[in-house]
Amino acid sequence: MTPTEIIPLLIVVLLLLSASGAEPDTMSVVFDGNQTLDGAGENSAVVVGGGSVTVPANASVSAPLFVVGGDLRVDGEVEAVRVLAGNLTVADGASVTGQLEVVGGRATVATGANVASRSDLVGQLQDQSPTRSPAGFLFQVLSLALVAGLVARRNPTLLANVGDSVTNHALVSGVVGAIAGLALLVLFVYMAFTLVLIPLSVVGLAAEFGVVVYSYVVYGYLIGRALPIERVDVASAAGAGLFVVALEALGAVPLAGVLGQGLLVAVGFGAVLITYFGLREFEPAEIPG
Amino acid sequence: MRFVDHVRAGEWHTVLGYLLFVALMTAGYYYNVTFVQLGLIDLGTRLVGLSHTAVSTWMAALALLTFVVAVAVGVTMDRRDWSTDLRLKLRLLFGVLVVQFVLTAVAPHIRSAAAFGAWIVIASCALGVGFPVSFSLAIDFVPVPDRGPVAAVITAVTYFLANAVPIEWSIGAFSLLMVAAMAPGLVVLGVVAFDLLKPIERLVDGLALQHREFGTGRFCHPTSIRTRSLAFLAPVALMFGVFFVDSLGFLRIIETPALILTSWQSPEFSTRLAIAVVHVVGALMAGVLYVNFDRNGLFLWVFALFGLTYVLYTSDLRVAALFPALGRDAPSIVNPLFYALTVSFYTTLNFALWPDLSTAETIGTHSAIGVGMAGWLATFVSTAVALYLDHAAVGLLTHLNLVNALALLFFLALAVGIYLRRLVAVARGRGGDTDAASDGEVSG
């Protein structure tokens, strides 16, 4: 793994540790070689970023373990393991007394191993598709519809201005959205690596997410205008609901669907930015001649 | 794009102008970024046997001399009204191409320092005449609204070819390719410049009058921009900063095998293709932004992207220093991709900016000073600084950290400058028209 590939994963670990109240600067990271964890004096988190780490049969490790690269083999007892990338093997007779979370990578648990609790994010994501989890999806639709209805009722001009950029200046909106979205994402991720700026990084990422949600509301407003509903707030709410459904359906199309989703997000993100969240209509620079 | 309108209207002389401009600028820029910037280092160090420092010094001399010649030629063009004489410009360009053709053909056979020095001096003169003349063709060939897209196409094609077409970074390979490409180019330019075919002569007649319509650049409305004004000198300083930051960083990157052999010189075609594609995407993005925003915004983007790129590079190096095991793997492709994006942004801006800051009366001087100061003088200064840092045994991380600091400093200074200008405008009671004023005055 290169530094660029591993840094985001380490940042995720840092964020998880910060969220759990632990001291992120005390964690130890293993990048290469063959190492053994016997549990003695292991109070801070251990991150496996490369190489091979083994918890022997007679050892008990209470510190949280993270796998972001390389291999972790558990023959003894560990409390909690999170796998973001890399490989985890829990052998026969070994035990995970707490939670085993698999976000990415590969986790192999022998039939004779004892795992108190296991969660698999990939499986959960699959479970969250509308057909498998209608309640969750309905919640998303209703939430966005509610926000769209409220914003449209209070200040429809904001949505109209952003919507104008989406429809009439889609190219420039998409360019600004793509470059700003990507650059800000990288910036916030790298900010987190400074540790000092972790709170700012979290706020920044949340703000980016907020802009995306706002753009979804705008799409809802645009769809709502085409619906035979007179009240703008009701139309926007209905449009937002339809948009979420359409976006989900689009995601089901292999490759082209994901590209289409990305394009919609980029255009919406850029349109929100270039109109200052709809506070003013975007007017391209005038070029004489 | 106006180009489509001209095609639909059957205005073939204008269409020819577009094609000629793109072909000439692409060829010229490709020659610069490959043969001049990379080939000469190989020639000097490997074939002539000079030290790397000596070659760098000669390269700096080439940049300085090119700048001096260009300013002299640019000012002369405007004073003698050559800037509006298309045929004269094409003939000058033909002369430059003949000299460069000969220089390119003989370059691989140079074996002595004296011959290398003489080659540098003659090449400087040819380049110094060539670039103000070629940039000034924008007023004859490219309508003002299309300068952003045309600049984007030139940048995209040049960098795509430079990265995707597999060619060894050696003077022999470059020379062979350039001679083969220049030979038909010489014939075509000769036919166009010397009216050797009647139909072409009529097309050139049409092109020769276009400067009356296309001559006044985007930022010269309602009043033209004077050379000794902040409206011109501010973009010159900013573009100098952009080229300086790029050159100072890249000079070190190409000397670091771990960074260059896994990116621009990677044996993997997919890696080089990825860089080439990002260059194209970046150029087209910059073309869209140039048309839709004022130039301040683009400069901000460029400095911000440079800052971000070097943050990525330096972060990798810091992590590798902290955890040596990670440094053993090949560096990530993400960093050169961001670098490529940034370079395409500012190159597009550079191709469109100088004609748009000029009129038919000032295009020679402005393009010479603009490109000369920003491109060549910045290269001269950055090479000198890089040599100093090399002698001072400054490490890679410190070097790139310095470049990063410069990029962030320029970004901050520009943002503060824009804000202060608006503040002053508001204080003077004309806050409402600051955006409009920014295009005609300092915004740049």
DSSP A68-125: SSSEEEESSEES-EEESSSEEEE-TT-EEEEEEEESSSEEEE-TT-EEEEEEEHHHHH
DSSP B131-194: HHHHHHTHHHH--GGGHHHHHHHHHHHHHHHHHHS---SSHHHHHHHHHHHHHHHHHHHHHHHT
**B406 pLDDT tier (thresholds 50, 70, 90):** confident
* Structure confidence by residue, pLDDT tens digits, B354-382: 999 999 999 999 999 999 998 888 888 88
Unique residue bearing structure tokens 């940039």? B135
The predicted model gives B324-329 an average pLDDT of: 62
- What is the DSSP secondary structure assignment for residue B218, as one 8-state letter? G
pLDDT mean across residues, chain A: 85
CATH classification at residue B60: 1.20.1250.20
- Does A116 have pLDDT greater than 60? yes
Best B288, B348, B349 residue to mutate vs chain A (most A CBs within 10 Å): B288
- Number of other CB atoms surrounding residue A66 within 10 Å: 27
CB-based contact, A158 to chain B, within 8 Å = no
The predicted model gives A24-32 an average pLDDT of: 74
Q: Is residue A91 a contact partner of residue A75, using CB atoms and an 8 Å limit?
A: yes
Paired strand residues for A47: A29, A66
Closest residue in A to B144 (Cα) is A289
ipTM: 0.75
Chain B residue numbers with beta carbons less than 8 Å from the beta carbon of A284 are 291-293
Q: Is A60 helix (H, G, I), strand (E, B) or coil?
A: strand
Dig out the tokens for B33 from the structure: 């970024």
From A175's Cα to the closest Cα of chain B, the distance in A is 6
Q: Is residue A27 a contact partner of residue A44, using CB atoms and an 8 Å limit?
A: yes
Most confident by average pLDDT, A103-117, B70-84, B332-346, B423-437:
B70-84
CB contact under 8 A, A288 and B144: yes
Buried b / exposed e along B67-105 (16+ C-beta atoms within 10 A): bbbbbebbbbbbeeebbbbbbbbbbbbbebbebbbebbe
Chain B residue numbers with beta carbons less than 8 Å from the beta carbon of A32 are 325, 328
pLDDT mean across residues, chain B: 88
Paired strand residues for A1: none
Percent of chain B with pLDDT over 70: 95
From B124's Cα to the closest Cα of chain A, the distance in A is 35
C-alpha dist (Å) from residue B317 to A2, A77, B252, B254: 11, 36, 14, 16
**Three-point CA angle B233, B239, B244, nearest 5°:** 125
Following CA atoms A86, A92, A94, A95 in sequence, which dihedral angle do they give, to the nearest 10 degrees? 90
* Structure confidence by residue, pLDDT tens digits, A248-264: 899 888 889 889 999 99
Closest residue in B to A51 (Cα) is B325
- Does B385 have pLDDT greater than 90? no
- Does A125 have pLDDT greater than 50? yes
pLDDT for res A4: 62
Domain ranges in chain A are 3-125, 130-274
Percent of chain A with pLDDT over 90: 43
A230-234, B31-35, B78-82: least confident range:
B31-35
- Does B329 have pLDDT greater than 90? no
Q: Is residue A78 a contact partner of residue A99, using CB atoms and an 8 Å limit?
A: no
pLDDT for res B128: 95
**Which range marks the domain in which residue B241 is found?**
2-440
DSSP B104-134: HHHGGG--SHHHHHHHHHHHHHHHHHHHHHH
CB contact under 8 A, A172 and B214: no
**Bond into B222 cis (ω within 30):** yes
Looking at the structure of chain B, the number of domains it has is: 1
Following CA atoms A31, A37, A43, A48 in sequence, which dihedral angle do they give, to the nearest 10 degrees? 30
How far does chain B reach from its first CA to its final CA, in angstroms?
A: 24
pLDDT for res B438: 43
**Nearest by CB: B143 against A31, A172, A289:** A289
